Structure 1
């Protein structure tokens, strides 16, 4: 049995995720079911999801995102008790099963403080509430394996992101692997060492305690999610270099590829299949246009440079249609301002649509609707990125910065367009370098649009279709993780 513990999980119909990590873990779940791999992923069940925004007096106001319909699809699997903060906490277990794959959702039922701690993903009132949220996940995950799997049956126990590194403190000695999905500082969260003394009785010498450090120290292996990210991990944690390796992220192709594109054999076949997929997607999104479609859709935060696409909307003429997508964390002031800017562009320009909530079902249509898919992170800050992979497996070549897993497959003007510098150092987000690459980005988008106009685009698109499908697939990822032979 493969066991994975994750802070978020994106199953179809759910709102139990914030972005790329949850979607990636959902892709693993569906791939395990397809490949017949015994697989269990354990996560918290967030009654109020992550965040959505409503407009009030001209301001964007964040609120919870109930997922009542998805909750009804889960199968109750009893309750158990754990101790957190010196109090007994009752946990409800809810299952979603597909072939050999099981998603086990854990939900605090009482007392009230525990219920509140797990109501929403990545939204907490205090550091202690945030700490206890992940203590609940860790202790409930251990209890679930105790009761429903058995530790002797666990081949790998994969900890997704540092917040899950509390699991080995609850039950040391298992075959843990810490998977690090973020090179940025927030990927290495910290808590005061007094929290650990109060909860576990450990008196750590460091204060604050870095969760990534604990996870790597207590795991048999550390995994990062692109070859480029390995350089950053070895620089940050050189004392763990012997146990850290790279397994590049991937996507579940049957989940993300349009059925019309399942087996195309030539650029001409791809062109016909793409036309069918695009027409269906535009209709589903309620968009009427016969123009080339440029897409920017992902979480809104500074290092992903959403302001690049906002500027591009201003700079390109109206012979292009733009689909902008994504939302920000409520505490990310820059991201919330960019949401307002995206909303302004969509309301003032007939060739712009803004879709804030990138749930899986809608995200698929956005990918299928695109002709030019943009990927703009500030080089050095993106761990891997998977949105550009979803485009490429549909024969949509990306215009991408040289970051994350991009350069493992993408070659400029062969299966996409590249811009910017490949940085192997983490420059600050107020660095002048952040803005310098816009002109090249604009030039590459124009080059892609020119190729679409003169027909040379379709060979590049077909190259993307073939090369992305071979490498950025869950089948390859499962082999690299040792899930299959």
Structure 2
């Protein structure tokens, strides 16, 4: 059996690996994919674990009024992944569920490859219900979700053992969905059996193996399951063990609490989010590592060519983007013009509507949910009309899916459609359906200004504005999440409202948004294009060079992984790997790569 020298196992319920593989719903999954891409670039000895999600999240369809309809995002793992022979059995209630695995390779710039294992229960020996257990991302009821999380956590730990990954010393839980892996680790520590009770020694042994990243500053966003349901699915003593550990009332299992209790290192995903998380979960030493995005993945071809010409080292070392501060503004405008044209061509293909490349274009693409407030821009339609009449025309492009059970999010989409109708012909507003990785890349690069309007302090980090910055697109954003750190007013973009410590005041924030558009941004865009290009340049040099996944992973290496020797095998990304390196398949391998 072939083995790999992985010392870090990265668990995530969703991972954005490829536009053709819909195993992600939004920011969490895209971050997971960017994490693994950066790890491959850096030569980090890592392995990813997730579920196969044969039906994906969903395909979004919108009618003329903005009503959302969902369709399965069906895909065939056989066309994109490599089936591996080992299978394991995971106990659920009083039955054993068989689980097999598919492998995907994420390839880094140096040739280093990271295996990602996607767990699948669609096997003939399972009953009909269990065969569909790994089909739907964030689908089904609480019972379905709980069973999925057992498959991910317990099954993931068992699969790694079956595949011969016996060198792993750190298990990184990306959100609490995978917290049941602590049961798998307990079985490893106790020769395949669960202990009858926790001991301080066992608890510490598990803690020393686990790292946890929390992404959710909203209490409702943390998975919780009724204790009776947990006992039904896990049985005893497993249920008693996890219910004892999560620090919550006995009638509820909080997956975040379980992960917090069993991790030696915990972090939020931005400075402000770390503060919010410590307030939510007092008593836990929660650190902060601000998210980043994979620079090469999210930089448009025109800007890739620009960077390759001036500082080609940027692909290997994203810090070289700092040298963008010396780029000629005219070259930035030219690259952005090409990126914008690519976006507008896609908009016309999707909608049949041709937009004007000379018009100031705002981009807004986030998961459609109430706290992200996609409708804040439409708080005062008359004010928007006046801005257009006095300063210049405006185009706004929206995208984003609402969870099928999020009626508030669906209502937000309908509000955008209603505002678009009311504003015609003064302001052009389009909502692009079925937001995915491909559309995100175009929107983040081709918009002129990236708009973000979350309700403070509910934005954990946000990464779309980071993708925009890599393409010289400045943000106009509420001071929450990463933007508290990334905003230098008038230099990297513009703030909506007051400082990030104060709760949101929607009326003040709407007024601030309009003032910035009318008196600062639109005049700069239309009357002083070279000055606007200087803001674009600073967005690249200051934010693009820092808010990338390479920097993020270096912080994980230094702070989360280093303490127990998890990075002893890290290689330098500039050193070419031998083709027979354990993390490199043979040169003639036909295995899929990222």
Same fold (TM over 0.5): yes
**Cα shift at 1:71:** 5.2
CA distance in 1, matches of 2:31, 2:336: 24
RMSD: 2.3
Partner of 2:144: 129
Partner of 1:183: 217
Is 1:459 matched up with 2:534? yes
Is 1:448 matched up with 2:462? no
**Cα shift at 1:346:** 5.3
Q: Bigger radius of gyration, 1 or 2? A: 2
CA distance in 2, matches of 1:272, 1:58: 37
* Structure 2: stretches of 5+ with no match in the other structure: 1-5, 108-112, 187-205, 245-249, 308-323, 349-353, 558-566, 573-594
What SS does the aligned partner of 1:113 have? helix
CA distance in 2, matches of 1:29, 1:116: 27
CA distance in 2, matches of 1:146, 1:282: 49
Q: Judge conservation of contact 1:326–1:358 (CA < 8 Å) in 2.
A: yes
String of CA shifts for 1:238-292, please: whole Å, max 9, x gaps: 2212xx2111100000000113223252322211111122112222332432312
How does 1:79-118 map onto structure 2 within 5 Å?
79-99=87-107, 100-109=113-122, 110-118=126-134
CA distance in 2, matches of 1:391, 1:339: 22
CA distance in 1, matches of 2:439, 2:88: 36
**Cα shift at 1:213:** 1.2
The higher relative CO (CA closer than 8 Å, separation ≥ 6) is in: 2
Is 1:328 matched up with 2:402? yes
Q: 1:162 aligns with which of 176, 185, 192?
A: 176
Q: 1:148 aligns with which of 163, 168, 187?
A: 163
Q: Judge conservation of contact 2:292–2:548 (CA < 8 Å) in 1.
A: yes
Q: 1:424 to 1:107 in 2, by over 3 A?
A: farther
Q: 1:407 to 1:140 in 2, by over 3 A?
A: same
Is 1:234 matched up with 2:278? yes
Q: 1:258 to 1:59 in 2, by over 3 A?
A: closer
* Structure 1: stretches of 5+ with no match in the other structure: none
String of CA shifts for 1:317-350, please: whole Å, max 9, x gaps: 3811111111111121121112223344556746
Q: 1:132 to 1:273 in 2, by over 3 A?
A: same
CA distance in 2, matches of 1:312, 1:10: 37
Q: 1:256 to 1:53 in 2, by over 3 A?
A: closer
Partner of 1:367: 444
Partner of 1:379: 456
Partner of 2:590: none
CA distance in 2, matches of 1:390, 1:312: 29
What SS does the aligned partner of 1:135 have? helix
**Cα shift at 1:297:** 0.9
Partner of 1:338: 412
What SS does the aligned partner of 1:94 have? strand
- Number of residue-to-residue matches in the alignment: 476
Q: 2:371 aligns with which of 275, 296, 303?
A: 303
Q: Judge conservation of contact 1:51–1:62 (CA < 8 Å) in 2.
A: no
CA distance in 1, matches of 2:64, 2:541: 49
String of CA shifts for 1:78-100, please: whole Å, max 9, x gaps: 33322212211121211111332
